[in-house]
Amino acid sequence: MQSRKAARLSRRTVVIGVGAGLIAAPPAPRASHEKGSAMLQDPTQKYPKPPFKHQSQPWPGLAREMDPKPDHGETSYKGSYRLRGRKALITGGDSGMGRAAAIAFAREGASVAIHYHPDEAPDALDVADLLKAEGHTIVLLPGDIRAESFCKRLVEDAVAKLGGLDILVSNAARQQTHDSILEITTDQFDWTMRTNIYAPFWIIQAALPHLKPGSAIISTASEQAYDPSPNLYDYAQTKAATMNYTKSLAKQLAPKGIRVNAVAPGPIWTPLQVSGGATQEKIEHFGEQTPMGRPGQPAELASIYVQLAAEDASYATGQVYGSAGGDGQP
Q: Which residues are catalytic?
A: 235
Residue 39 CA to residue 18 CA, distance in Å, equals: 36
* Residue 148 burial class via C-beta count within 10 angstroms: exposed 0-12, middle 13-18, buried 19 and up: middle
21-60 in b/e burial notation, b at 16+ Cβ within 10 A? eeeeeeeeeeeeeeeeeeeeeeeeeebbebebeeeeeebb
* Residue 78 burial class via C-beta count within 10 angstroms: exposed 0-12, middle 13-18, buried 19 and up: exposed
Phi, psi for residue 99 in degrees, rounded to 5: -65, -40
109: helix, coil or strand?
Answer: coil
CA distances from 165 to 155, 213, 245, 251 (A): 9, 11, 21, 21
